[in-house]
C-alpha cells in the first residue's frame, strides 16, 4: 500500500458524496459523475474482498451476500425512516405512492427502489443498482478474472441497456462496476504520474464547465451552456477521466480517521436529501438559500457522525465478526494464520 496522503481513499469518497450534495442544492449538476465513480470503486472493493475474504468462507456466496446486505441495508432503512418521518412532519407525504408492500420492502431491503412509483429518498436509486450488482458480482469477478477482454461484454450490456430494462436495472452502469472489477482482478495499478494527470484533466473539465456557465449567466444566455456543461456526456467524461485517480487511491494506506470518512460518506449520501428537503434549501433569495445550505451541511455532518458512531459502527463490527467466524481454516503448512489475520480487515 502507498503513502500518498493526498490520495486518501476515504476522503475521496466523502468528497464524492459532497459533490452529490452540491448537485442537489445548486445548478451545478455533475452529481452523476460522482455516482459513476462510486460504482467503479464498488466494483474494485467487492472484487478485492471476494478474492481475499469471501471466497475463503463457508458457503462463500451466502456469506458474501448476507455480509453485503448487512453492510448497507441497516443504514439505508434508518435513512428511509428519517425521510418518511420528515415528509409526514412537513405534511408532504403522498396519499398514494404505489404498492405498499413494494414500498416497505424496497425502503428496507433496497432492491427494487429505483422502480418505485414514489421514491422518498431520491439518492436511494443508486443503492438499488449497487445491490443488483452484488447479486451477480461473483460471476462477473470469475469471468473477468479469467479473461479481461470479457470487460467488453459489460460494455455491450451497458450500451444495450435501453432494451434490457433501462434504468430499472444495473445494466446501464455495469461497465463502471466492471472496470473496478478488472482493476482488482488483474491488479491494474495506475502510476502516480498517470493518476495525477487524470485528476488534473478531470478538474480541468469541471473548471471549464464552471467558466462556461458563469460566462453565459453573465450574458444572460445560460440555457444552452447548462445543457452542455451539465449534460450526460459531460458527466461521463468527468467520470472516465477521474477513474484512474479513484483507482490510485485504492493503493494508498488508510488510517482510522480516513476509514471513518469513507464510512461517513455512505451515511452523508443517504441522509442529505431528507435534510435539504426539510429545510427547503431551494427556496428564497440566493443569500437565503446559501444560509440554508450551510445550515443543512452542518446538520448532515453532525447527524451522519452520530449515526456512524452509535448505529453503523456497532452493527458493522458484528457483521465483520460474523464473517471472520465463517472463514475456513487453511490446511496446516499453508499459511493459515496469514489468511485468518487478513480477513477481518477486508470483510
How far from the centroid of its chain's Cα atoms is residue 185's Cα? 20
Determine the Cα–Cα distance for residues 132 and 41; give it in Å rounded to an integer. Answer: 16
Q: What residues pair up with 57 in beta bridges, in sequence order?
A: 327
Angle between helices 60-90 and 100-109 (to 10 degrees): 120
Q: Is residue 335 helix, strand or coil?
A: coil
Residue pLDDT, tens place only, 83-142: 999 999 988 888 877 789 999 999 999 999 999 999 999 999 999 999 999 999 999 999
Least confident window among 46-50, 254-258, 336-340: 336-340
Residue pLDDT, tens place only, 321-335: 999 999 998 665 544
How many Cα atoms are found within 13 Å in the side-chain-facing hemisphere of 108?
Answer: 6
Determine the Cα–Cα distance for residues 329 and 33; give it in Å rounded to an integer. Answer: 42
Q: What mean pLDDT comes out for the span 151-157?
A: 95
Position 209 scores a pLDDT of 82
Determine the Cα–Cα distance for residues 227 and 224; give it in Å rounded to an integer. Answer: 5
Q: What mean pLDDT comes out for the span 208-230?
A: 65
pTM of the model: 0.91
**Is the model's pLDDT at 336 over the cut of 50?**
no
What the block records as the C-alpha cell of 83 is 425521510
Quickly state the pLDDT bin for 73 (edges 50, 70, 90): very high
Position 167 scores a pLDDT of 81
Position 332 scores a pLDDT of 56
Position 220 scores a pLDDT of 59
Position 131 scores a pLDDT of 97
Position 226 scores a pLDDT of 56
**Is the model's pLDDT at 339 over the cut of 50?**
no
Q: What residues pair up with 327 in beta bridges, in sequence order?
A: 57
Q: What mean pLDDT comes out for the span 142-167?
A: 92
Position 30 scores a pLDDT of 86
Quickly state the pLDDT bin for 217 (edges 50, 70, 90): low
What percent of the chain clears pLDDT 70, i.e. is strictly above it?
90
Which comes out higher in pLDDT, residue 166 or 15? 15
Determine the Cα–Cα distance for residues 32 and 23; give it in Å rounded to an integer. Answer: 9
> DSSP letter string over 284-320?
S-HHHHHHHHHHHHHHHHHHHHHHIIIIIHHHHHHHH
**Is the model's pLDDT at 345 over the cut of 80?**
no
Position 98 scores a pLDDT of 77
What percent of the chain clears pLDDT 90, i.e. is strictly above it?
76
Residue in 202, 210, 248, 246 with CA at minimum distance from that of residue 228 = 210
CB atoms within 10 A of CB 264: 23
**Is the model's pLDDT at 200 over the cut of 90?**
yes
Which ranges in the chain belong to alpha helices (H)?
A: 9-25, 31-52, 60-90, 100-109, 124-146, 151-159, 174-185, 192-218, 222-229, 232-249, 256-279, 286-307, 313-325, 336-346
Quickly state the pLDDT bin for 342 (edges 50, 70, 90): very low
**Is the model's pLDDT at 346 over the cut of 50?**
no
Amino acid at each position: 500500500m502507498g503513502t500518498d496522503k493526498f490520495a486518501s481513499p476515504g476522503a475521496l469518497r466523502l468528497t464524492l458524496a459532497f459533490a452529490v450534495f452540491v448537485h442537489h442544492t445548486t445548478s451545478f449538476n455533475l452529481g452523476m459523475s460522482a455516482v459513476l465513480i462510486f460504482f467503479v470503486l464498488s466494483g474494485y472493493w467487492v472484487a478485492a474482498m471476494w478474492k481475499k475474504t469471501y471466497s475463503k468462507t463457508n458457503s462463500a456466496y451466502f456469506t458474501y451476500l448476507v455480509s453485503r446486505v448487512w453492510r448497507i441495508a441497516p443504514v439505508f432503512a434508518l435513512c428511509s425512516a428519517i425521510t418518511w418521518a420528515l415528509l409526514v412532519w412537513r405534511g408532504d407525504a403522498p396519499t398514494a405512492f404505489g404498492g405498499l408492500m413494494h414500498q416497505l420492502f424496497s425502503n428496507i431491503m433496497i432492491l427494487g427502489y429505483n422502480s418505485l412509483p414514489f421514491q422518498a429518498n431520491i439518492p436511494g436509486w443508486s443503492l438499488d443498482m449497487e445491490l443488483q450488482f452484488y447479486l451477480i458480482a461473483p460471476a462477473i469477478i470469475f469471468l473477468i478474472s479469467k479473461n479481461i477482454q470479457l470487460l467488453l461484454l459489460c460494455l455491450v450490456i451497458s450500451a444495450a441497456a435501453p432494451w434490457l430494462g433501462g434504468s430499472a436495472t444495473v445494466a446501464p452502469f455495469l461497465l463502471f462496476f466492471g472496470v473496478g472489477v478488472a482493476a482488482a482482478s488483474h491488479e491494474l495499478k495506475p502510476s502516480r504520474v498517470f493518476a495525477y494527470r487524470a485528476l488534473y484533466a478531470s478538474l480541468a473539465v469541471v473548471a471549464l464547465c464552471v467558466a462556461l456557465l458563469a460566462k453565459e449567466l453573465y450574458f444572460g444566455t445560460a440555457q444552452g451552456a447548462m445543457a452542455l456543461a451539465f449534460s450526460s456526456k459531460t458527466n461521463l467524461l468527468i467520470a472516465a477521466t477521474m477513474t484512474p485517480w479513484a483507482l490510485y487511491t485504492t493503493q494508498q494506506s488508510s488510517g482510522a480517521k480516513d476509514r471513518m470518512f469513507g464510512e461517513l460518506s455512505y451515511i452523508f449520501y443517504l441522509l442529505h436529501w431528507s435534510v435539504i428537503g426539510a429545510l427547503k434549501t431551494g427556496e428564497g433569495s440566493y443569500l437565503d438559500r446559501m444560509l440554508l445550505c450551510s445550515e443543512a451541511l452542518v446538520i448532515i455532518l453532525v447527524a451522519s457522525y452520530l449515526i456512524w458512531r452509535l448505529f453503523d459502527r456497532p452493527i458493522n463490527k458484528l457483521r465483520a465478526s460474523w464473517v471472520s467466524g465463517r472463514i475456513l481454516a487453511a490446511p496446516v503448512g499453508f499459511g493459515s494464520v496469514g489468511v485468518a489475520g487478513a480477513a477481518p480487515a477486508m470483510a
